[in-house]
Structure 1
Amino acid sequence: MPWSKGDYPPSMKNLDSRVRNKAIEIANALLEDGYEEGRAIAIATAKAEEWDENHPKDKK
């Protein structure tokens, strides 16, 4: 089941919206590649947090 900005896993509810949106993007890509939902969520959350650390908001 693909997720969106308004419909995402409960485990993503406490993420910053910027990180959550990236995690949703990554999770949907992982689902398309055949990953199970639980695994896709875990990987996507970790990768989105890593992405956020490497791409600060004020840096363009």
Structure 2
Amino acid sequence: MNRARTLLRKRLPVRLLIASVLTAVCSAAATARPAVTTTTRALCEEQGQALADDMTPSPG
């Protein structure tokens, strides 16, 4: 355990790699959430429109 702490404290490249991976994960999550929300909303609206079209009587 002591050796791992020393490794993280003294090795700048290891700390930079950890920071880079954490940044990449956070940015991917921050991008995915609005994309999923927008897509879900659009699909629900489209499905609602399709149901409304099915309920209207066709002319003739």
Superposition TM-score tier, normalisation by shorter sequence: 0.3 to 0.5
> TM-score when scaled to structure 1?
0.34
Structure of higher CA gyration radius: 2
Bigger RCO (CA 8 Å, 6+ sep) = 1
> TM-score when scaled to structure 2?
0.34
More helix by share: 2
